[in-house]
Amino acid sequence: MQAIARLKPGDSGDVLDEAARKALHPDSPSRVINNHAFHRMLTEGIEVEYRRADGSMR
């Protein structure tokens, strides 16, 4: 979690928690698929939805 916070210092705790959850809890039972998904997260980033202060979703 601290490593993610260092990479994205301006993001809220909820956003960082969701990114960590996605990285640490793979969706597939297949290690190969999970390794590809994790590599994609490392190279392309992790998409996380969050609510802005004005109420809109990002």
Residue 51 covered by a domain: no
Residue 57 covered by a domain: no
- Cα 16 to Cα 19: distance, rounded to the nearest angstrom: 5
Residue 49 covered by a domain: no
Where do runs of H (alpha helix) occur along 1-58?
2-7, 13-24, 31-44
Residue 55 covered by a domain: no
Share of the chain above pLDDT 70, in %: 100
Residue 8 covered by a domain: yes
- Cα 27 to Cα 15: distance, rounded to the nearest angstrom: 19
Structural domain boundaries, residue 8: 2-44
Count of residues for the chain?
58
Residue 52 covered by a domain: no
Residue 12 covered by a domain: yes
Residue 24 covered by a domain: yes
pTM to 2 decimals?
Answer: 0.72
Q: What total number of domains does the chain contain? A: 1
The pLDDT tens digits for 37-53 are 999 999 998 888 888 88
